[in-house]
Structure 1
Amino acid sequence: MNVILIFLAAIAAIIIWWLSGQRLTSKPWLETGSVQLPDHIGAERLQPPAVKIGLFVFLGVVGAVFSLAVSAYFMRMASADWWGMPVPRLLWVNTAALALSSAALQWARREAGHGRMESLRPALTAAFALALFFLVGQVQAWRELVSAGYVLADNPANSFFYMLTGLHGLHILGGLAVLAHTTVRAFSTDVAPERLRLSVDLSAIYSHFMLAVWLLLFALFAGWANDFVDLCRTLLT
């Protein structure tokens, strides 16, 4: 339960911080000197915040799903039939690849904001290639564990590892589909800069979130999360 509350509190803090920067709590009817904009301009300016709010709501749901799964992991590991499994060294390489992919998307986000298409295209390509490398590495890690005898139905620890990494991989795959579409559009000559900038922005936010989820899962599998939870319990008591 403590893990769920900590994770959801972090997500809520991020959402509140972002919404505070969108002036959603402002009172425009109390402001002076406002200019009435045409309908089509107002619609264009309202669309990006709406899309971002939708993304943040979706990420909140995803975060809740992972937090429930992590909570179930902690409760299940207290059972007598739980045997820990080793963490493949390849996961370190995969983690580095995912972090570099997120950094490349942040680079692309900055380049898109300045309209530098020559730098935006290689940044998006690098982010896509690194995220794809992460997925391939995850599959290879699965193969190494299976060949070592750590199959899915052997014990609950194995089942949770495959379930959580598989669920995370599916979300990465969905993000890759969007990123591939954004990368193809970046190489097009008739793409609108505003829409491309929004797509890159959303892809970067999604990538950062999935990196944070993976770091949590990696700490869980490596055993570091157990020490953190014990520390939190000690501080709270």
Structure 2
Amino acid sequence: MSAILIFLAVLACIIGWWMTRQRLTSKPWLEAGQARDVQGMQGSPLPTAKIGLGIFLAVVGALFTLFISAYLTRMGGADWWGMPIPRLLWVNTAVLVTSSGALQWAKTEARVGRHEALNTALSAALVTAVLFLAGQAVAWWQLMSAGYILADNPANSFFYMITGIHGLHILGGLLVLGRTTMRARYDLSPQKLRLSVDLCATYWHFMLLVWLVLFALFAGWANSFADLCRQLIT
């Protein structure tokens, strides 16, 4: 329970920081001058797409928090026994970090208007995202080949379910990222392009954070951290 509360607190801090950066907490009635409708200018309203993404990420974060809570609760059952973590997951984690870094690079290039470098960064993010999904599928195959099937014990079921749902979220983001990559090569105005890349980068950073928490959970680090927090509290 301590780990869940800490995760929720960290999630709330990240969302609050992001909202502050996007000027969602600004008070336009206290600002001098008339409101402007031009996007990108300081004091302009937050785009609806960013508000929608923030709400969606909050829901996704709550969903994975419930999964983590159920995972930690179910671990106390007598029929629970752990499963090994494939070494490939370390590689997949590094690949996802690279993909997130490439999108941050693309975000920077979009702001300064370097179109060629932007295309390279978006392509790198797209390729590494595909590699991450492929690596996750191979990790599943390795575990099943070793006899860790879905219905063997609850630990296996939770692992396949949670990583599968995370993979589906990555796949959905991949479709949007692919669309942004293609449109960046042919059309899309600079303002819309910056917004699209910004949304992709925010989504990717969040999914990386979720994966790091899940990886720590499956590796057993979260349990040790929860025990430490419990000892500090008591």
TM-score band by shorter chain is over 0.9
Pairing 1:185–2:175 present: no
The answer to whether the aligner puts 1:195 opposite 2:175 as a matched pair is no
1:211 equivalent in structure 2: 208
Whether 1:223 and 2:220 are equivalent positions in the alignment is yes
For the 8 Å contact 2:40–2:191, the answer to whether it is kept is: no
Query: Could you tell me how far 1:47 is from its partner in structure 2?
Result: 5.7
- Give the counterpart of 2:129 among 122, 131, 142: 131
Give the 3 Å change call, closer, same or farther, for CA 80–103 of structure 1 in structure 2: same
Matching residue of 2:155? 157
2:194 alignment partner AA: R
Residues 42/131 of structure 1: CA separation in 2 closer, same or farther (3 Å cut): closer
Structure 2: where are the runs of 5+ without partners? none
User: Partner of 2:62 in structure 1?
Assistant: 64
TM-score, with length taken from structure 1: 0.92
Alignment correspondent of 1:168: 166
Whether the 8 Å contact between 2:22 and 2:46 is mirrored in structure 1 is no
Q: CA offset at residue 30 of structure 1?
A: 3.8
Cα offsets for 1:138-197 (capped at 9, x unmatched): 011111111110000000010000001001000000000000000001111x32000011
CA 1:129–1:30: 2 relative to 1, 3 Å: closer
Change in 2 beyond 3 A, CA 1:192/1:213: same
**1:187 aligns to what SS in structure 2?**
helix
Displacement, 1:54? 1.2
Give the Cα separation in 2 of the matches to 1:15 and 1:83: 35
Say which SS state the counterpart of residue 46 (structure 1) adopts: coil
* Identical positions, percent: 65
State the Cα distance separating 1:235 from its structure 2 match: 1.4
Q: Deviations over 1:200-230 (max 9, x none)?
A: 0000010001001111111111111111111
- 1:21-100 counterparts in 2 under 5 A? 21-32=21-32, 34-35=33-34, 37=36, 41=38, 45-46=44-45, 48=47, 50-100=48-98
- Alpha-carbon contact 1:3-1:67 (below 8 Å) kept: no
**Residue 27 to residue 47, structure 1, CA distance change in 2 (3 Å):** closer
**Aligned partner of 1:83: which letter?**
W
Secondary structure at the counterpart of residue 137 of structure 1: helix
User: Does 2:233 correspond to 1:233?
Assistant: no
- C-alpha displacement at 1:53, in angstroms? 1.6
What is the distance in 1 between the residues matched to 2:127 and 2:22? 32
Pairwise CA distance, 1:27? 3.8
The more displaced of 125-134 and 8-17 is 8-17
Cα distance, 1:43 vs. partner? 11
